[in-house]
């Protein structure tokens, strides 16, 4: 049995007296001296006063017959468990719980009286939908689990809490649907989480980076979402969802290309509208990836493919521009990245002004100053808009980087070099797997799965929802 | 060598095999290296396709009979030395076939896409590209081939529709003016080269039934044959062979580049042919690496072997086409088809004899 340290030793272990927010409160419980140790601000003093300290004087004298007796009769806190070991004791206090010591009792009771400040549930900031719920995750893990449970009221939904990290541990909640998720996958994720021994700051990004098999891969292997309904949808499909403490995002894994490209809007709308917006998004992806490279290849190497009127128009527009087409593309691309980055950092109130300044004034001024041709502005604007239409942030960044690779390939050898670059990059993408699931599954390798890929078929045709994620052993090409 | 293994699903094998077969068939038609061949290409392709089907049937028969890969089947039928000899022959053919694919792709690129580019540099770029992709795995290549197949299908339909619009039935079977010798020579040459592709079909996966393995092979032959001959037919319907030394599909491409309505499709065609040829080249690199590793009893390392094969294929491609060495290497390809057909038929015969003897012995006991 775990023999805990005393309240004074615990206080010292937590850094007191230098650490002034570690509090110790002595009181009488059942005629014995008792102590509460907690961290000010993390545990709610109001809870402690109302549900523990107020009832303590009413406790009849005499030794308590055990914790159960104490809990049922006097302590009105629902979450109360004995500490199992020293690590758990320390971590629970750091997490906002309070430790209850009673003189003569060789156990410490942990009272869940967490009461730190938290943000209320609000609309998601980066995954807005026209139809559908306007609820997004917050930084509080418990609230996030509740949000998912409200979407998925099933006894098969399992939520396991794993403590991850070296010295400063973070709670990671591993959610999956029993029966739908691959048990081997759940086990391997648990093992990977347990194996993380670096200090993880609270945030989903760190855990994601430490989890992926190939850290050098450019493609995203997980999907971050701030929507509880989307997380519930992932869980229904047999994916595992991780909720990291302090992160207003859920990590879903494994993912395929289609998980990264589809949005909740597609499902909320009728299938005809959903299909339409989905096709627009895929065209946007093609624009974002290939349009500048295609334009460069055409203008530099394959002028014979351009209709004469358009060719003349391009020649007239480029006549006064002193830079090469490549320089034009790079200048404009860089300008858009600048607008993008400053838009992220700038105060929200100035965002609109920045957009107008960046997109209109800068573009117009560049064209007037003959630095870039108007056609190039259209090409780069279309490709940039295309990259913003990609719903997944990581995939959008991958596309931006790949766009550069294709641009350089097109400059070096027109369509031929572009074809070679596409060949190599797509073969690598085909070889890429997210936790055993191929990136382009269920298209390549072909699998029997939910047909909800490019076309959002009617819901009655989408019965086979869990088979999209067959892992390596079971996949068919 | 974990990334490269014979452990391909029959369907993966099928898609790789189809792409390789298709690109080989179109490479024959696109090739400009055989002067004055004219319709011999078309008829020779028919002949070589028939010979390739016989080869595929023999390979499939042996693999199914022994329920193992081709080389193991040869070993069981004829002994270890026969299997090693076939492996060496297969390796030579695979390398020579990679050389031919590299030459065709570089010629096509320099003629149609980059007329001012250096032929050698284009060839090196192709080899490096194929090498980079080959470093993934045959499995990844099969997945990529499946993705490309979705784009390839509408492109082929477009070609058929465009050429069918200009059809002149008088040119359907223009047989005159070309010697039987040339047709035979081209037919034998191509059939020898097909063997390097049939090797992919011979990658027998024991985890799946012989029926699945066999079906994958025949489906691939069927698909590739049907598509290629539809293209050949369209080309022969549309273009009279007035220009000596130009193949029908090459003329078709020229038409696409110069035409007004179809010019914007050229980019798509360059992409598709590049994808198909590079996939085949990659597969040949991979198969060569597997063969070489097997010959070296699994002691070789994956990356250096592939790099060495890529370099070697470029060196082979740089040999002067007029030189005796080039012609000698081509003679090997030309002779291989009939030699292999005879050898595999002999294997089959020997295995049947062995079986008969065993049956007799069993009956006697």
Sign of the dihedral through C-alpha B282, B287, B288, B290: positive
Neighbours of A144 (CB within 10 A): 27
Region of poorest pLDDT, from A179-188, A451-460, B166-175 = B166-175
In order along its 365 residues, chain B shows pLDDT tens digits of: 445 555 678 888 888 888 887 777 666 655 544 444 455 566 777 788 888 888 888 888 888 888 888 888 888 888 888 888 888 888 888 888 888 888 888 887 887 777 788 888 989 999 999 998 888 888 888 888 888 888 777 777 776 666 666 555 544 444 444 567 767 777 777 777 777 777 777 777 777 888 888 888 888 888 888 877 776 666 655 554 444 444 455 555 555 555 444 455 566 677 777 888 888 888 889 888 888 888 888 788 888 889 999 999 999 988 888 888 888 888 888 888 888 888 888 888 888 888 888 888 888 87
Q: Give the pLDDT confidence score for residue B33 in this predicted structure.
A: 41
Gap from A438 CA to chain B (nearest CA, Å): 9
Q: Give the pLDDT confidence score for residue A4 in this predicted structure.
A: 73
Cβ-Cβ contacts under 8 Å, B137 against chain A: 431
Strand (E) or helix (H) holding A172: strand A170-177
Peptide bond before B301: cis, by omega within 30 degrees of 0? no
**C-alpha torsion B64→B65→B67→B71, nearest 10:** -90
d(CA B35, CA B40): 10
- The string over A54-78, giving b where at least 16 C-beta atoms fall within 10 Å of a residue's C-beta and e elsewhere, is eeeeebeeeebeebeebbeebbebe
Residue of B nearest to A430 (CA): B140
Residue A64 pLDDT greater than 70, yes or no: no
In terms of Cα–Cα distance, which of B13, B64, B43, B31 is closest to B220?
B13
Residue of A nearest to B207 (CA): A473
d(CA B281, CA B79): 31
A→B interface, C-beta within 8 Å? 294, 297-298, 301-302, 304-305, 413-420, 422-424, 426-428, 430-431, 438, 440, 443-446, 476-477
Residue of A nearest to B257 (CA): A305
> What ranges make up the beta strands (E) of chain B?
none
Percent of chain A with pLDDT over 90: 19
Cβ-Cβ contacts under 8 Å, B271 against chain A: 415, 418-419, 422
Q: Give the pLDDT confidence score for residue B175 in this predicted structure.
A: 47
Nearest by CB to residue A430, choosing from B11, B147, B270, is B147
Contact criterion met (CB < 8 Å) for B147 and A302: no
**Judging by DSSP bridges, how do beta strands A157-164 and A170-177 pair with one another?**
antiparallel
d(CA A285, CA B305): 37
How many residues belong to chain B? 365
Cβ atoms of residues A49 and A25 within 8 Å? no
Cβ-Cβ contacts under 8 Å, B266 against chain A: 302, 305
Cβ-Cβ contacts under 8 Å, B146 against chain A: 443-446, 477
Q: Give the pLDDT confidence score for residue B343 in this predicted structure.
A: 85
Neighbours of A372 (CB within 10 A): 24
Residue that has been written with the tokens 């295609």 in this structure: A294
Contact criterion met (CB < 8 Å) for B263 and A304: yes
**Which is more confidently placed, A420 or B173?**
A420
Q: Give the angle B46-B51-B52 at the CA atoms, nearest 5°.
A: 95
d(CA B127, CA B101): 10
Q: Give the pLDDT confidence score for residue A72 in this predicted structure.
A: 62
B64 at A interface, C-beta within 8 A? no
Contact criterion met (CB < 8 Å) for A431 and B109: no
Q: Give the pLDDT confidence score for residue A421 in this predicted structure.
A: 94
Residue A409 pLDDT greater than 80, yes or no: yes
Cβ atoms of residues A363 and A352 within 8 Å? no
Mean pLDDT of all residues in A211-234? 89
Q: Alpha carbon A123 to chain centroid distance?
A: 16
Neighbours of B83 (CB within 10 A): 21
Helix axes A325-345, A393-431, angle to 10 degrees: 130
Sign of the dihedral through C-alpha A71, A75, A79, A82: negative
- What one-character-per-residue DSSP string does A5-18 give? PPHHHHHHHTTTTT
Contact criterion met (CB < 8 Å) for B270 and A417: no
Each residue of A249-302: pLDDT tens digit?
Answer: 999 989 999 999 988 888 888 888 989 999 999 999 999 999 999 999 988 888
d(CA A220, CA B82): 49
Give A317's DSSP letter.
H
B132 at A interface, C-beta within 8 A? yes
- What one-character-per-residue DSSP string does A42-104 give? TB-HHHHIIIIITTGGGSPSS--S-HHHHHHHT---S-EEE--SHHHHHHHHHTT-EEEEETT
Contact criterion met (CB < 8 Å) for B140 and A443: no
**Judging by DSSP bridges, how do beta strands A437-438 and A433-434 pair with one another?**
antiparallel
B11 at A interface, C-beta within 8 A? yes
Contact criterion met (CB < 8 Å) for A431 and B140: yes
Contact criterion met (CB < 8 Å) for A415 and B278: no
Cβ-Cβ contacts under 8 Å, A304 against chain B: 257, 263
Gap from A368 CA to chain B (nearest CA, Å): 31
Contact criterion met (CB < 8 Å) for B141 and A476: no
Cβ-Cβ contacts under 8 Å, A428 against chain B: 133, 136, 140
B151 at A interface, C-beta within 8 A? no
Q: Alpha carbon B12 to chain centroid distance?
A: 16
Cα-only R_g, chain B: 21
Tokens of A357: 């300044």
Tokens of A43: 């545990």
Peptide bond before A17: cis, by omega within 30 degrees of 0? yes
Mean pLDDT of all residues in A424-451? 86
Q: Give the pLDDT confidence score for residue A42 in this predicted structure.
A: 86
Instruction: Write phi, then psi, for A81 (nearest 5 degrees).
Output: -140, 150
Cβ atoms of residues A185 and A177 within 8 Å? no
Whole-number average pLDDT of chain A: 83
Question: B208 — alpha (psi -120 to 50), left (phi > 0) or beta?
Answer: beta
Which residues are CB-neighbours of A403 under 8 A, at least 6 positions away?
Answer: A288, A289, A290, A292, A293, A333, A383, A387
Q: Give the pLDDT confidence score for residue A241 in this predicted structure.
A: 94
Contact criterion met (CB < 8 Å) for B140 and A428: yes
Contact criterion met (CB < 8 Å) for B146 and A301: no
State the first-to-last Cα distance of chain A, in angstroms, to the nearest integer. Answer: 54
Q: Give the pLDDT confidence score for residue B244 in this predicted structure.
A: 42
Cβ atoms of residues B302 and B289 within 8 Å? yes
Residue A401 pLDDT greater than 90, yes or no: yes
Gap from A180 CA to chain B (nearest CA, Å): 26
Contact criterion met (CB < 8 Å) for A420 and B274: yes
Tokens of A56: 């303590």
Mean pLDDT of all residues in A417-424? 92
Gap from B46 CA to chain A (nearest CA, Å): 30
Nearest by CB to residue A424, choosing from B132, B143, B257, is B132
Neighbours of B88 (CB within 10 A): 12
In terms of Cα–Cα distance, which of B342, B163, B182, B349 is closest to B259?
B163
* H helices present in A199-355, as ranges: 204-211, 228-236, 257-261, 264-268, 271-300, 308-318, 325-345, 351-355
Q: Give the pLDDT confidence score for residue A427 in this predicted structure.
A: 92
Gap from A445 CA to chain B (nearest CA, Å): 6
Q: Give the pLDDT confidence score for residue A283 in this predicted structure.
A: 94
The residue among B128, B144, B220 with the most chain A CBs within 10 A of its CB, best to mutate, is B144
B344 at A interface, C-beta within 8 A? no
Give A246's DSSP letter.
T
The residue among A309, A409, A423 with the most chain B CBs within 10 A of its CB, best to mutate, is A423
Mean pLDDT of all residues in A349-368? 72
Gap from A178 CA to chain B (nearest CA, Å): 30
């Amino acid at each position: 049995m775990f023999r805990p340290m005393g309240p004074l030793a615990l206080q010292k272990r937590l850094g007191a007296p230098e650490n002034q927010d570690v509090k110790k409160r002595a009181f009488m419980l059942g005629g014995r001296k008792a102590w509460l140790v907690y961290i000010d601000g993390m545990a709610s003093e109001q809870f402690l006063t109302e549900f523990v300290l107020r009832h303590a004087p009413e406790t009849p004298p005499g030794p308590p017959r055990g914790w159960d007796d104490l809990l049922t009769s006097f302590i009105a806190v629902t979450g109360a468990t004995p500490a199992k070991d020293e690590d758990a004791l320390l971590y629970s206090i750091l997490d906002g719980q309070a430790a209850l010591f009673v003189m003569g009792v060789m156990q410490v009771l942990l009272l869940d009286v967490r009461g730190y400040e938290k943000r209320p549930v609000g609309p998601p900031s980066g995954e807005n939908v026209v139809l559908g719920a306007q609820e997004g995750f917050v930084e509080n893990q418990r609230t996030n689990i509740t949000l998912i449970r409200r979407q998925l009221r099933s006894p098969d939904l399992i939520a396991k809490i794993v403590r991850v990290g070296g010295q400063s541990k973070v709670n990671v909640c591993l959610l999956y649907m029993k029966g739908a998720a691959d048990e081997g996958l759940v086990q391997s994720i648990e093992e990977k989480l347990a194996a993380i021994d670096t200090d993880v700051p609270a945030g989903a990004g760190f855990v994601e980076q430490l989890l992926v098999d190939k850290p050098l891969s450019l493609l995203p292997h997980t999907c971050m979402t701030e929507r509880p309904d989307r997380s519930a949808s992932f869980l229904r499909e047999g994916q595992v969802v991780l909720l990291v403490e302090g992160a207003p995002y859920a990590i879903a894994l494994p993912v395929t290309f289609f998980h990264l490209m589809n949005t909740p809007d597609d499902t909320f709308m009728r299938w005809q509208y959903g299909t339409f917006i989905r096709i627009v998004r895929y065209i946007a992806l093609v624009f974002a990836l290939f349009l500048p490279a295609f334009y460069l290849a055409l203008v530099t190497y394959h002028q014979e493919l351009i209709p004469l009127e358009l060719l003349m128009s391009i020649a007239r527009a480029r006549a006064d521009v002193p830079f090469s087409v490549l320089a034009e593309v790079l200048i404009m691309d860089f300008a858009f990245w600048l607008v993008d980055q400053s838009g992220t950092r700038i105060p929200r109130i100035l965002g609109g002004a920045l957009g107008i300044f960046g997109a209109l004034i800068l573009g117009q001024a560049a064209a007037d100053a003959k630095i870039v041709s108007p056609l190039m502005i259209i090409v780069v604007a279309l490709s940039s808009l295309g990259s913003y239409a990609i719903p997944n942030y990581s995939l959008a960044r991958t596309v931006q980087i790949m766009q550069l690779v294709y641009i350089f390939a097109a400059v070096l050898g027109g369509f031929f070099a572009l074809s070679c670059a596409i060949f190599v990059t797509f073969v690598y993408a085909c070889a890429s797997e997210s936790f055993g699931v191929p990136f382009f599954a269920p298209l390549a390798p072909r699998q029997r799965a939910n047909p909800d890929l490019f076309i959002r078929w009617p819901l009655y045709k989408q019965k086979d929802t869990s088979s999209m994620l067959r892992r390596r052993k079971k996949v068919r090409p | 060598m974990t990334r490269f293994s014979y452990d391909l699903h029959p369907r993966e094998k099928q898609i790789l095999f189809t792409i390789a077969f298709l690109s080989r068939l179109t490479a024959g038609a696109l090739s400009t290296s055989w002067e004055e061949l004219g319709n011999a290409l078309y008829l020779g392709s028919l002949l070589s396709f028939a010979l390739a089907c016989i080869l595929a049937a023999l390979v499939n028969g042996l693999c199914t009979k022994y329920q193992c890969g081709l080389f193991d089947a040869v070993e069981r039928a004829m002994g270890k030395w026969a299997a090693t000899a076939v492996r060496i022959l297969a390796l030579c053919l695979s390398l020579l076939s990679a050389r031919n694919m590299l030459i065709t792709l570089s010629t096509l690129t320099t003629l149609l896409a980059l007329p001012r580019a250096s032929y050698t540099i284009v060839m090196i770029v192709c080899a490096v590209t194929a090498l980079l992709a080959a470093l993934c795995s045959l499995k990844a290549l099969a997945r990529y081939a499946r993705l490309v197949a979705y784009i390839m299908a509408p492109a082929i339909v477009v070609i058929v529709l465009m050429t069918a619009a200009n059809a002149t039935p008088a040119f359907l079977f223009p047989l005159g003016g070309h010697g039987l010798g040339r047709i035979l020579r081209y037919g034998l040459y191509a059939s020898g080269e097909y063997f390097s592709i049939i090797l992919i079909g011979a990658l027998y996966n024991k985890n799946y039934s012989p029926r699945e393995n066999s079906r994958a092979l025949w489906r691939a032959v069927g698909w590739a044959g049907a598509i290629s001959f539809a293209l050949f037919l369209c080309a022969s319907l549309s273009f009279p062979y007035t220009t000596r030394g130009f193949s029908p599909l090459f003329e078709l491409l020229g038409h696409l580049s110069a035409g007004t309505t179809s010019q914007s499709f050229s980019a798509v065609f360059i992409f598709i042919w590049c994808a198909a040829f590079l996939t085949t080249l990659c597969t040949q690199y991979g198969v060569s690496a597997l063969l070489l590793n097997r010959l070296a009893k699994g002691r070789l390392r994956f990356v250096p072997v592939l790099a060495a094969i890529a370099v070697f294929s470029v060196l082979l491609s740089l040999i002067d086409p007029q030189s005796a060495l080039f012609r000698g290497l081509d003679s090997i390809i030309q002779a291989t088809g009939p030699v292999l057909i005879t050898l595999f038929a002999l294997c089959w015969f020997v295995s049947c004899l062995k079986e008969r003897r065993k049956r007799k012995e069993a009956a006697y006991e």
